[in-house]
């Protein structure tokens, strides 16, 4: 017994099935052969009865019946009684019946010895029949053919029995009758002997047939019983060998499905195939457990990488980011020491060194100069060839034969080493080394991949933080330059204003003749000087306004102003200029209730700038139209002209300082390129929007979109 089961159960299911099939193959043919033999024997007996003995006995009985009739008819003939039947007429049927008797007793279904035993009996009966007919014919030859004189009324006289004294009859008729009677007695004796022989053989055949039936039934029952027993035994054996072990295996599977992942199947019970299945199942269970452990380790490494990434991204400088990478990576991998050397812009010189180690280890001193000079070369080699370098046991590895490896071991005490390059694109940024000092260690693939991702995070942090530092420095410098530019513009504008005031004052004295009479030519020159002084004053005023807006924002004092009043002021201001240029200036009717809350002076300045541009860029004979309307919660003030228009390519840059449209520059139309910048600053400072639509050669429409109501104070722009 093994494991409580019969030893046979340890055989394979295939061998047990083959054994069962072999037993059935032996039993069934044996039973079939015995059954066929007994059935064949029974069939022989039945055929002997039906084809030989039965017809022979019937023919023999027919011979006896016909001979009895013939003998009765002979007696009636002998005594002179009229007989309806001629005894000699039955000879032919009797001969046929004798032939049937002979055929039946000599049938091939009978055994040879039986046919030999029946042959003399059949011959004796045939001889007896022939003897009787011979005697009967002789006897009937002496009987008168005429009818008798008197018909006896009694029964025909019977054949007188021989005298008890044993003396024979004395008359010839008596002697002939005696011979006939003797021959008939011989026939009866022969017929009876043959009948007895046929009956005996028939009884024997019947007994054999019954015995054959019993034997056949017994054999069939016995074979069936044995087969059933074999099948029952095989069923119990298969259940012990397969059913019960499979049920236990299913139970193990169910336990695993219920989170008992370490449940193992019994490999020592059941048939060979079941044990092999249990062994394979256990191997699969162990492999699945290893896979689960590997997946858990991989997930742990992924969490480590995410943690390293979060720590690096939240750092404020490169040193802090790389220190977090080394600290988290070393603790996450369970290493003894982590070193990270960063390279300078030349990719060869060490710029910084960061290290992490367990509490029981001291800080490492700087690398020897011979090793420090090779950090850049090692970075290039790793990035170019293998991507990483790992040694489970530095002392036992052939790499220890290399002087560089021995020097690194002496400098760091590393027993197991994982070294990775830190870089991005084609640029090397450093070397990351993860070490075990206490004992050798095999670095798994998921650990190497996690370290590679951490090295990539370190590279990204170096690049991103260095770039951020550069950007901060650039922003600081640009801010400083912008401040200096603003201060310069304010200073220059203020300083230009003072001499311009003096120039304008003395110009006015010259024109008034305070310094003597002025000729016509001098008047023309003074007018030109005056116009340019006015232009210069406007430019200075625009620069001061823009500078003020940039420094302190748009300082506005809001009040409710009727839009009609705004447009009337603009129209009155621009009418002389429009008339001088031959431009028709129109203003549509504006509803009295159309009111905006704005700084009146600033908005008037913006609208005058728009109107001035419209008149300036409209040729003589053109038209400028001022209009206003309400659209929802907004008020739209439009300045439309039929001037030269603006090229589509210049529309996006119109509000830039000092930018002028290309066709305006080509036409030598004077201007500074600051007007629209001031207009946009004023409009947007009031929470509005400046919309420009123009078609070159057809005209331009400037729309100032303002809210119907504005807050009491407009916040300053910073």
Name residues whose C-beta falls within 8 Å of residue 410's C-beta, 6 or more positions apart in sequence.
Answer: none
CA 272 vs CA 13, 221, 233, 701: distances in Å: 7, 35, 19, 98
Read out DSSP for 622-659? -EEEEEEEEETTEEEEEEEE-SS---GGGGGGTTSTT-
The C-alpha angle 706, 712, 716, rounded to 5 degrees, equals 80
CA 310 vs CA 5, 306, 357, 457: distances in Å: 61, 6, 21, 10
For the CA atoms of 651, 657, 658, 664, the dihedral, rounded to the nearest 10 degrees, stands at: 20
Nearest Cα residue to 577 out of 524, 634, 538, 523: 538
Alpha carbons 684 and 693: distance in angstroms, whole number: 18
Cβ-based burial of 686 (10 A; exposed 0-12, middle 13-18, buried ≥19) = buried
DSSP reduced 3-state for 30: helix
Segment (H or E) for 699: strand 699-707
Cβ-based burial of 567 (10 A; exposed 0-12, middle 13-18, buried ≥19) = buried
State CA 517 to chain mean position distance.
105
Name residues whose C-beta falls within 8 Å of residue 698's C-beta, 6 or more positions apart in sequence.
Answer: 642, 645
State CA 508 to chain mean position distance.
94
Phi, psi of 632 (to 5 degrees): 65, -125
Alpha carbons 182 and 279: distance in angstroms, whole number: 100
pLDDT of residue 87: 79
- Whether residue 571 contacts residue 605, with contact meaning beta carbons closer than 8 Å, is answered with no
Nearest Cα residue to 686 out of 601, 628, 627: 601
Alpha carbons 559 and 562: distance in angstroms, whole number: 10
Segment (H or E) for 540: helix 520-552
Alpha carbons 85 and 538: distance in angstroms, whole number: 179
- How do residues 305-340 score in pLDDT, each as one tens digit? 999 889 888 888 888 888 989 999 999 989 999 999
pLDDT of residue 327: 93
Alpha carbons 123 and 638: distance in angstroms, whole number: 158
Alpha carbons 716 and 124: distance in angstroms, whole number: 161
Alpha carbons 102 and 106: distance in angstroms, whole number: 6
Task: Pull the structure tokens for residue 399.
Answer: 């790499």
pLDDT of residue 8: 40
Task: Pull the structure tokens for residue 330.
Answer: 């070393």
Name residues whose C-beta falls within 8 Å of residue 282's C-beta, 6 or more positions apart in sequence.
Answer: 264, 265, 267
- Whether residue 109 contacts residue 52, with contact meaning beta carbons closer than 8 Å, is answered with yes
pLDDT of residue 84: 73
Longest dimension (CA), the chain: 231
Q: Could you give the residue ranges of the DSSP H alpha helices within 340-402? A: 369-372, 375-384
Nearest Cα residue to 256 out of 276, 286, 295, 216: 286
pLDDT of residue 478: 80
Collect the ranges in the chain with pLDDT lower than 50: 1-9, 146-168, 668, 710-718
pLDDT of residue 554: 58
Domains defined along the chain, listed by start: 29-143+158-215 (1.20.120), 297-463 (3.30.450.40), 553-707 (3.30.565.10)
Its pTM stands at 0.44
DSSP single-letter state for residue 404? H
Alpha carbons 319 and 462: distance in angstroms, whole number: 9
Nearest Cα residue to 91 out of 126, 120, 121, 118: 126
pLDDT of residue 148: 44
Alpha carbons 617 and 664: distance in angstroms, whole number: 8
Alpha carbons 439 and 445: distance in angstroms, whole number: 19
């Amino acid at each position: 017994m093994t494991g409580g089961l019969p030893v046979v159960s340890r055989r394979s299911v295939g061998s047990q099935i083959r054994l069962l099939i072999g037993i059935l193959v032996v039993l069934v043919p044996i039973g079939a052969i015995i059954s066929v033999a007994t059935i064949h024997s029974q069939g022989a007996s039945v055929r002997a009865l039906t084809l030989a003995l039965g017809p022979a006995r019937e023919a023999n009985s027919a011979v006896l019946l016909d001979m009895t009739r013939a003998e009765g008819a002979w007696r009636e003939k002998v005594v002179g009684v009229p007989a309806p039947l001629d005894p000699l007429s039955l000879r032919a049927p009797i001969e046929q019946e004798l032939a049937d008797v002979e055929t039946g007793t000599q049938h091939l279904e009978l055994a040879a010895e039986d046919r030999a035993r029946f042959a003399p009996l059949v011959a004796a009966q045939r001889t007896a029949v022939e003897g009787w007919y011979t005697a009967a014919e002789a006897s009937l030859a002496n009987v008168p053919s005429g009818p008798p004189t008197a018909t006896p009324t009694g029964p025909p006289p019977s054949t007188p029995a021989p005298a008890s004294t044993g003396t024979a009859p004395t008359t010839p008729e008596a002697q002939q009758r005696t011979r006939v009677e003797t021959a008939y007695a011989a026939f009866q004796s022969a017929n009876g002997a043959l009948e007895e022989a046929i009956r005996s053989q028939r009884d024997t055949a019947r007994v054999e047939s019954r015995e054959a039936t019993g034997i056949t039934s017994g054999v069939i029952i016995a074979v069936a019983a044995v087969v059933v027993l074999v099948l029952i035994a095989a069923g119990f054996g298969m259940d012990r060998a397969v059913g019960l072990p499979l049920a236990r295996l299913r139970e193990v599977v169910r336990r695993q499905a219920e989170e008992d992942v370490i449940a193992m199947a019994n490999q020592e019970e059941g048939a060979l195939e079941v044990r092999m299945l249990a062994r394979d199942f256990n191997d699969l269970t162990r492999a699945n457990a290893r896979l689960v452990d590997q997946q858990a380790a991989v997930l742990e490494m992924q969490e480590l990488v995410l943690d390293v990434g979060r720590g690096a991204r939240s750092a404020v400088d490169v040193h802090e980011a790389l220190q977090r990478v080394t600290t988290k990576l070393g603790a996450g991998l369970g290493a003894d020491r982590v070193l990270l050397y960063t390279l300078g812009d030349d990719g060869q010189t060490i710029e910084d060194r960061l290290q992490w180690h367990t509490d029981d280890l001291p800080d490492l001193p700087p690398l020897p100069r011979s090793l420090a000079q090779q950090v850049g070369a090692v970075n290039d080699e790793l990035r170019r060839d293998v991507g990483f370098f790992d040694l489970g046991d530095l002392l036992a590895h052939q790499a220890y034969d290399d002087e560089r490896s021995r020097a690194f071991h002496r400098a760091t005490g590393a027993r197991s080493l994982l070294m990775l390059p830190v870089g991005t694109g084609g640029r090397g940024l450093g070397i990351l080394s993860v070490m075990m000092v206490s004992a050798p260690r095999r670095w798994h693939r998921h650990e190497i991949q996690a370290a590679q991702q951490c090295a990539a995070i370190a590279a990204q942090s170096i690049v991103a933080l260095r770039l951020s530092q550069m950007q901060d420095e650039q922003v600081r410098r640009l801010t400083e330059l912008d401040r200096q530019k603003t201060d310069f513009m304010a200073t220059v504008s203020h300083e230009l204003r003072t001499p311009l005031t003096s120039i304008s004052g003395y110009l006015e004295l010259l024109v008034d003749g305070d310094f003597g009479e002025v000729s016509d030519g001098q008047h023309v020159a003074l007018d030109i000087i005056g116009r340019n002084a006015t232009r210069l004053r406007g430019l200075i005023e625009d620069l001061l306004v823009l500078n003020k807006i940039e420094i302190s924002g748009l300082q506005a004092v809001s009040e409710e102003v009727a839009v009609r009043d705004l447009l009337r002021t603009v129209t009155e201001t621009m009418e002389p200029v429009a008339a001088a240029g031959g431009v028709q200036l129109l203003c549509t009717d504006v509803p009295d209730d159309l009111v905006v809350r704005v700084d009146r002076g600033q908005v008037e300045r913006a609208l005058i700038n728009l109107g001035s541009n419209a008149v300036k860029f409209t040729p003589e004979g053109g038209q400028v139209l001022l209009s206003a309307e309400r659209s929802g919660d907004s008020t739209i003030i439009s300045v439309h002209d039929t001037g030269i228009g603006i090229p589509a390519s210049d529309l996006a840059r119109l509000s830039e300082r000092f930018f002028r449209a290309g066709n305006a520059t080509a036409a030598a139309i004077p201007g500074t390129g600051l007007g629209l910048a001031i207009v946009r600053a004023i409009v947007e400072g009031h929470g509005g929007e400046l919309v420009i639509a123009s078609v070159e050669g057809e005209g331009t429409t400037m729309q100032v979109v303002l809210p119907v109501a504005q807050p009491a104070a407009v916040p300053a722009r910073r």
